[in-house]
Amino acid sequence: MGSLQEFFSGMSSLVWGPPMLILLLGTGIYLTIKLRGVTLTKIPHAISLIFTKDKDTSEGDVSAFEALATALSSTIGTGNIAGVATAIAVGGPGAAFWMWMAALVGMATKFAEGVLAVKYRVKNKAGEMAGGPMYYIQEGLGEKWKPLSIFFAACGVMVAWLGIGATVQANSMADALNANFGIKPLYTGIVLSILVGAVVLGGIKRIAKVASKIVPLMSVIYIGGTLYIILSHIGQLPAAVALIIDSAFNGQAAIGGFAGAGVMLALRKGISRGIFSNEAGLGSAPIAHAAAKTDNPVRQGLIAMLGTLIDTIIICSLTTLTIIMTGVWNNGMTGAALTTEAFNVGMPGPGGLVIAIGIIFFAFSTTLGWCYYGEKCIEYLLGTKAVIPYKFIYILCILMGATVKLELIWAISDVVNGLMAFPNLVALLGLSGVVISMTKDYFNNINIEKSEEVKTIA
């Protein structure tokens, strides 16, 4: 077991090494430039689209907001609590700056994923929409690229069963409930299996409805806690921001007080944790956005990019400021323990409970979102007949995840999750011309409509 874990840990370091981070970041930069920054300048327009209904004739299974909530349910998770803390502890406060930079260009990556997901989606035998990288690789790049589609889908199923989806989230929730309330992991596994089963066996419409309720609720609880702490220490805010920016370019002592986490370490940790948190480029979110009721791929692409804004620019930033402003960032702790300590210092008494509740909600919602991603991957590989068996195996993986140690599974998950990104990024670069052309047409049409309105009023 030890040698197997060492093998996958080594593979994880290789897969998530500088070449992959450069490819992920480079794709985002390239798309941001080619799209002339619309993913940054059109944020208000994108927000307005969440509250604008498409035509009644638009095809799709869920509303645009429900699609966004489903995608967010899998990205807003323990990475926002533990991942950000690890980046700051190891890479210093400067890691937060590079996390922001990765998110800003990652919005273009997520936008392109949303556009392609809707453009190349198909309707399955059950009458539901199916889309994502496996479809836009095959349909967009051509049949000769199908092996890459199959590879992506196979990785997606493995991540859902043995990684981010079932086992890891169940383990996080079981640990939180055991540490804070003394509930045995087996009991958590049984209850979670039943709850998840009741939701996911109802299909995407039920998953989306639950996600659209849970995501706002859990976000309000966690954001409320961080804002309380930040406002309570508001005098520290200018110094905290200055420390983040200074550390990003000059380096800063990090975990355990060892001398100077260098700029490169801050950069690497910030970029990698940001990407792990918002999943821009990994190819998971477009599977959810493909189900949206819309007749315009660019509209859904604009809504999709808001996921990165919400997850990283807002929620991860609040976690960062909470850790730095309470002064605990260099106390030697890391991960969820560091964020918990920040909450205990900033909100004595209920602070630790807020984190525990946050982990429980985040883990549950991620479990739902990733079940749907894996479902669409198995459907692509084996057809709709494989969906029900897949879901039952998924539920069993939840039970297993709550009750076993997951060091090996974490290592396997990191490898397979990283491998998902490669075929997706190949497709995004290969189909970037399609995304750019459709985006130009969309905004040209909006400008024409506005000029027509002005003429009518005149």
pLDDT digits (tens, 9 = 90+) for 126-185: 788 889 999 999 999 999 999 999 999 999 999 899 877 888 888 878 887 887 788 899
Q: Which pLDDT does position 114 carry in this prediction? A: 95
Residues 209/66, Cβ–Cβ less than 8 Å: yes
Q: Which pLDDT does position 17 carry in this prediction? A: 79
Q: Which pLDDT does position 168 carry in this prediction? A: 81
Mean pLDDT per 10-residue run, the chain (458 residues)? 76 82 91 95 92 71 83 76 80 87 93 96 86 95 94 93 84 81 90 89 80 81 92 94 88 49 68 75 90 91 93 90 92 82 91 84 85 93 93 93 76 80 94 96 81 51
Query: Rounded to whole angstroms, how far apart are CA atoms 295 and 312?
Result: 28
Q: Which pLDDT does position 55 carry in this prediction? A: 65
Query: Domains of the chain (ranges plus CATH)?
Result: 2-441 (1.10.4160)
- Side-chain half-sphere of 87: how many Cα atoms within 13 Å? 37
Q: Which pLDDT does position 260 carry in this prediction? A: 46
Report yes or no on whether pTM surpasses 0.95.
no
Query: Rounded to whole angstroms, how far apart are CA atoms 73 and 95?
Result: 24
Report how far apart, in Å, the C-alpha atoms of 210 and of each of 37, 279, 361, 362 are. Answer: 34, 21, 12, 13
Q: Which pLDDT does position 179 carry in this prediction? A: 77
Q: Which pLDDT does position 365 carry in this prediction? A: 84
Q: Which pLDDT does position 75 carry in this prediction? A: 77
